[in-house]
């Protein structure tokens, strides 16, 4: 079969047979050191580039794995000598390629020789370019930890005489890639009615979270990834405390397939509680996956998700989270139903009473010390140790049920781990353009095409973020880009909110009735039946902390065995009378997860439970749920296994 036959076969392959979505071709690079031949293949494993010697022997093979690829764009170069100098690959087999090849053109020669006759078209360069965006796992050195690095693979298509034909070829690769990526996606983003469409994400951003730079973080580091992955989104900026609760409980949510919190755990808590105030909460939680971009001061959930799936965190938490929310993968997540005297709430992270809650809340007054405030206040509280009197009743987790849930979860995470090991990419150095250098970003601003201006003029900082990234999209300086789905994304921070304001006013007036799953426990003021297996600890406590994520904060590995969906609340009790060195060692080791005793002792107990009741005997103190202070008083909590879905890394 000759090349043109092969090509026409590929072109007519718009059907769903997997192998028909494998595309391959031969490309050439012309560099100062000489020309190279590459066999490039796209299949279910990813992009494979084989470099061949002139005699046809494979010298080197490298693969960008599919799981590391987020998306692609087809582009046309603007006709400038500078942009032409950036060409990466030349497709052979045409007179044009032959001419370029014969001239042994280096990129710069190529650009100066970019006359019409060279390309045989009226507008200059008739090539079409495919840019492929990937975030590959890398190690700076043997000792350093893994991190993700953005890489852009550029393929130049110039087999045909006209731009349209070359673009059709680039588009064929683009579609093949989209098909392969869709195949690895769950249904989160894939529109059932139109598979080429991506479903929309709802982004809720708290501008006050953490150090107050969530907006910049989103614009600079998250929006570009969403755009590269062609995930259209609607962004809403919260205007006050409880905004997310009102939003989630009153809005129509059918248009969105995922909700992304850009903020801290407090914002996520509001989102969850808003959703569970809906009458259709079960349907919504089933159909919408939740995600978080860590911009808060604690970030326990984001850290737990990355830890659970071995995604590098510390090198770039926001990038890891951004890749997670576009991965299209989700896992069920347990929630805890918390019954207070007057109301019900839902929690995804923790319930605390005593030392840790005191430190969390009381240290607010020294917020200017940043994360150090926790250390400072812990030392202060240790010196002035308080104990609290109360009764804690608990129902141990059903070993069989929870061990099978946790076994399933462990197996799932092991499988994912293996898959990830298999799939983790090696980097391609020669063929992948690293287009992220600042100097190039600056240069690319002048090529910003007008077509994008309506899209990027929404906010000044967005413009900047777009420009700083447009090196990758527009490294050709294109004025005519084929795909720019970002035009679908909408910013609502300044939009007319009157309808929403009206809706939430009505809802608030109605008292925001709670729906959500019903409880299997007796009412809070009723006694607990001993016969059902309830056990009791009573007396003086330094603290009680109930946790259902592995991490309470970025460096607080509080419940190392906890999984997203294991049906277990880890109830940690520290009794009064514990020595200060013992307590100090407990607190110090929380960062590594070595603080919990292997066997429960007189002072420290770790109890895997499915429900508990706290009855403080004092009438003062601090109780927190997901790190936020709630009204002091008795409460009871029970696990609701897997009622929500949270997005996880690929
Ligand atoms: N526009 C706003 N202005 C003031 N407060 C807000 C606004 N939007 C949300 N909030 C409140 O800010 C609280 C804390 O937000 P968030 O969790 O995002 O940040 P954080 O407290 O710094 O992080 P973490 O919870 O991880 O410690 C939320 O409980 C929410 O009620």
Assess whether 480 and 520 both reside in one domain.
no
Assess whether 42 and 155 both reside in one domain.
yes
Q: Does 319 reside within a domain?
A: no
Assess whether 525 and 630 both reside in one domain.
yes
Q: Confirm or reject: Cβ of 311 under 6 Å from ligand 1.
A: no
pTM over 0.80: no
pLDDT of amino acid 197: 62
Q: Confirm or reject: Cβ of 267 under 6 Å from ligand 1.
A: yes
Q: Does 303 reside within a domain?
A: no
Q: Closest Cα to residue 204, out of 253, 271, 251? A: 271
Return the ligand 1 atom nearest residue 298 CA.
26
Ranges of residues in the chain whose predicted pLDDT is under 50: 1-16, 80-122, 412-413, 415-487, 493-496, 498, 504-512
pLDDT digits (tens, 9 = 90+) for 149-207: 998 988 889 889 999 999 999 999 999 998 888 876 666 776 666 666 667 899 999 99
Q: Confirm or reject: Cβ of 273 under 6 Å from ligand 1.
A: no
Cα 238 to ligand 1 centroid, rounded to whole Å: 9
Assess whether 538 and 591 both reside in one domain.
yes
Q: Closest Cα to residue 648, out of 304, 206, 166, 261? A: 304
Point out the domain boundary residue: 484, 500, 531: 484
The alpha-carbon radius of gyration of the chain (Å, integer) is 28
Q: Confirm or reject: Cβ of 360 under 6 Å from ligand 1.
A: no
Q: How many C-beta atoms surround the C-beta of residue 622 within 10 A?
A: 19
Residue 371's domain is classified under what CATH number? 2.60.200.40
pLDDT of amino acid 503: 52
pLDDT digits (tens, 9 = 90+) for 354-391: 999 999 999 988 877 777 888 899 999 999 999 999 99
Q: Confirm or reject: Cβ of 298 under 6 Å from ligand 1.
A: yes
CA distance 295 to 443: 30
CA distance 575 to 463: 55
Q: Does 409 reside within a domain?
A: no
Torsion of CA 470, 227, 177, 163, to 10 degrees: -40
Q: Confirm or reject: Cβ of 71 under 6 Å from ligand 1.
A: no
Q: Which residues contact 371 (CB under 8 A, 6 or more apart)?
A: 297
CA distance 215 to 534: 47
Q: Confirm or reject: Cβ of 238 under 6 Å from ligand 1.
A: yes
Ligand 1 atom 6, closest CA: 241
Q: Tell me the residue range of the domain where 172 lies.
A: 23-191+427-484
Pocket probe mutation, ligand 1, options 260, 267, 270, max atoms within 8 Å of Cβ: 267
Pocket probe mutation, ligand 1, options 207, 209, 556, max atoms within 8 Å of Cβ: 209
Ligand 1 atom 29, closest CA: 266
pLDDT of amino acid 361: 93
Q: Confirm or reject: Cβ of 243 under 6 Å from ligand 1.
A: yes
Helices 243-250 and 265-275: angle between axes, nearest 10 degrees: 30
Q: Confirm or reject: Cβ of 350 under 6 Å from ligand 1.
A: no
**444 near 475, Cβ under 8 Å?**
yes
Ligand 1 atom 16, closest CA: 264
Q: Confirm or reject: Cβ of 206 under 6 Å from ligand 1.
A: yes
Assess whether 45 and 176 both reside in one domain.
yes
Q: Confirm or reject: Cβ of 349 under 6 Å from ligand 1.
A: no
Assess whether 113 and 28 both reside in one domain.
yes
Pocket probe mutation, ligand 1, options 266, 299, 629, max atoms within 8 Å of Cβ: 266
Assess whether 583 and 439 both reside in one domain.
no
**479 near 450, Cβ under 8 Å?**
yes
Point out the domain boundary residue: 462, 484, 506: 484
CA distance 124 to 78: 9
Whole-angstrom distance between the N-terminal and C-terminal Cα of the chain?
38
Assess whether 545 and 626 both reside in one domain.
yes
Supply the ipTM of this predicted assembly.
0.96
Assess whether 55 and 161 both reside in one domain.
yes
Q: Does 249 reside within a domain?
A: no
Q: Does 550 reside within a domain?
A: yes
CA distance 443 to 88: 18
Assess whether 40 and 181 both reside in one domain.
yes
Q: Does 312 reside within a domain?
A: no
Into how many domains does the chain fold? 2
Burial 272-305 (b: 16+ CB within 10 A, else e): bbbbbbbeebeebbebbbbbbbbbbbbbbbbbbb
DSSP-assigned letters across all residues of 464-530? HHHHHHHHHHSTT--S--S--GGGG-EE-TTS--HHHHHHHHHHHHTT----SPPP-SPPTTSPP-G
Cα 215 to ligand 1 centroid, rounded to whole Å: 13
Cα 207 to ligand 1 centroid, rounded to whole Å: 8
pLDDT of amino acid 191: 65
Pocket probe mutation, ligand 1, options 263, 373, 504, max atoms within 8 Å of Cβ: 263
Assess whether 149 and 99 both reside in one domain.
yes
Return the ligand 1 atom nearest residue 263 CA.
18
Pocket probe mutation, ligand 1, options 218, 241, 504, 629, max atoms within 8 Å of Cβ: 241
Q: Closest Cα to residue 555, out of 582, 586, 589? A: 589
Residue carrying structure tokens 């130049």? 156
Q: Confirm or reject: Cβ of 270 under 6 Å from ligand 1.
A: yes
pLDDT of amino acid 452: 24
Cα 212 to ligand 1 centroid, rounded to whole Å: 10
CA distance 289 to 15: 29
Ligand 1 atom 30, closest CA: 241
The beta-carbon contacts of 248-255 under 8 Å, at least 24 apart in sequence, are 248/273, 248/274, 248/275, 248/277, 248/278, 249/274, 249/275, 249/277, 249/278, 249/504, 249/507, 249/512, 250/500, 250/503, 250/504, 250/506, 250/507, 251/500, 251/503, 253/202, 253/284, 253/288, 255/200, 255/202
CA distance 86 to 107: 6
Q: Confirm or reject: Cβ of 567 under 6 Å from ligand 1.
A: no
Pocket probe mutation, ligand 1, options 214, 264, 294, max atoms within 8 Å of Cβ: 264
Q: Which residues contact 597 (CB under 8 A, 6 or more apart)?
A: 604, 606
CA distance 414 to 503: 45
Cα 297 to ligand 1 centroid, rounded to whole Å: 9
Computed from CA positions of residues 7, 10, 11, 12, in that sequence, does the dihedral angle turn out positive or negative? positive
Q: Does 291 reside within a domain?
A: no
Return the ligand 1 atom nearest residue 206 CA.
8
CA distance 3 to 1: 7
Return the ligand 1 atom nearest residue 268 CA.
17
Point out the domain boundary residue: 466, 484, 502: 484
**544 near 614, Cβ under 8 Å?**
yes
Q: Which residues contact 530 (CB under 8 A, 6 or more apart)?
A: none
Assess whether 368 and 448 both reside in one domain.
no
Q: Which residues contact 604 (CB under 8 A, 6 or more apart)?
A: 572, 573, 574, 575, 578, 582, 586, 596, 597
Q: Does 301 reside within a domain?
A: no
Cα 352 to ligand 1 centroid, rounded to whole Å: 18
Cα 242 to ligand 1 centroid, rounded to whole Å: 9
């Amino acid at each position: 079969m000759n090349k043109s036959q092969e090509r026409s076969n590929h072109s007519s392959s718009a059907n769903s047979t997997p192998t028909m979505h494998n595309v391959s071709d031969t490309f050439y690079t012309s560099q100062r050191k000489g020309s190279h031949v590459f066999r490039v293949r796209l299949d279910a494993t990813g992009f494979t580039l084989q470099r061949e010697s002139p005699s046809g022997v494979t010298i080197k093979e490298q693969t960008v794995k599919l799981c590391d690829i987020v998306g692609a764009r087809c582009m046309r170069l603007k006709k400038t000598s500078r942009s032409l100098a950036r060409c990466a690959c030349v497709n052979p087999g045409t007179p044009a390629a032959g001419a370029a090849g014969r001239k042994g053109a280096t990129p710069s020669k190529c650009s100066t020789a970019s006359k019409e006759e060279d390309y045989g078209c009226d507008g200059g360069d008739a090539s079409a370019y495919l840019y492929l965006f990937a975030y590959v796992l890398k190690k700076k050195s043997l000792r350093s930890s893994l991190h993700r690095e953005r890489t852009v693979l550029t393929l130049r298509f110039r087999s045909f005489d006209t731009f349209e034909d070359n673009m059709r070829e680039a588009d064929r690769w683009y579609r093949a890639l989209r098909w392969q990526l869709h195949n690895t996606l769950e249904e989160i983003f894939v529109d059932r009615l139109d598979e080429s469409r991506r479903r929309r994400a709802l982004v809720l951003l708290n501008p006050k979270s953490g150090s107050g730079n969530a907006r910049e973080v989103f614009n600079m580091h998250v929006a570009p990834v969403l755009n590269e992955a062609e995930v259209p989104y609607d962004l809403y900026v919260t205007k006050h405390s409880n905004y997310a609760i009102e939003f989630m409980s009153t809005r129509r949510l059918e248009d969105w397939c995922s909700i992304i919190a850009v903020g801290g755990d407090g914002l996520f808590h509001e989102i969850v509680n808003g959703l569970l105030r809906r009458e259709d909460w079960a349907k919504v939680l089933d159909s919408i996956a939740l995600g978080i971009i860590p911009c808060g001061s604690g970030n326990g959930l984001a850290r737990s998700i990355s830890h659970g799936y071995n995604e590098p965190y510390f090198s770039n938490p926001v990038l890891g989270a951004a890749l997670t929310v576009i991965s299209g993968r989700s896992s069920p997540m347990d929630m805890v139903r918390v019954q207070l005297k007057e109301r019900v709430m839902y929690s995804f992270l923790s319930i605390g009473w005593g030392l840790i809650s005191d430190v969390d809340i009381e240290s607010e007054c020294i917020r200017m010390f940043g994360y150090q405030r926790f250390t400072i206040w812990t030392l202060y509280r240790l010196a002035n140790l308080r104990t609290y009197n109360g009764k804690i009743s608990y129902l141990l987790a059903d070993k069989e049920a929870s061990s099978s849930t946790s076994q399933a979860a462990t197996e799932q995470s092991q499988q994912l781990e293996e898959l990830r090991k298999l799939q983790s990419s090696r980097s391609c150095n020669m063929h992948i353009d690293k287009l992220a250098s600042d100097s190039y970003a600056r240069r690319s601003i002048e090529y910003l095409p007008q077509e994008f201006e309506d899209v990027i003029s929404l906010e000044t900082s967005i413009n900047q973020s777009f420009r700083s990234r447009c090196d990758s999209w527009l490294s050709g300086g294109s004025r005519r880009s084929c795909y720019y789905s970002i035009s679908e994304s909408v910013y609502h921070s300044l939009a007319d909110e009157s309808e929403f304001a009206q809706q939430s006013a009505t809802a608030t007036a109605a008292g925001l009735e709670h729906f959500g799953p019903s409880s299997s426990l007796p009412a809070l003021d009723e006694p607990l039946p001993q016969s059902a297996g309830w056990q009791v600890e009573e007396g003086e406590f330094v603290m009680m902390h109930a946790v259902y994520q592995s991490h309470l904060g970025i460096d607080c590995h509080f419940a190392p065995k906890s999984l997203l969906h294991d049906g277990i609340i880890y109830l940690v009790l520290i009794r009064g009378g514990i020595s200060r060195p013992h307590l100090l060692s407990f607190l110090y080791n929380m960062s590594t997860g070595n603080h919990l005793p292997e066997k429960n002792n007189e002072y420290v107990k770790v109890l895997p439970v499915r429900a508990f009741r706290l009855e403080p005997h004092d009438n003062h103190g601090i109780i927190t749920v997901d790190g936020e202070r709630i009204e002091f008083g008795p409460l009871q909590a029970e696990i609701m296994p897997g009622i929500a879905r949270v997005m996880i890394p690929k």
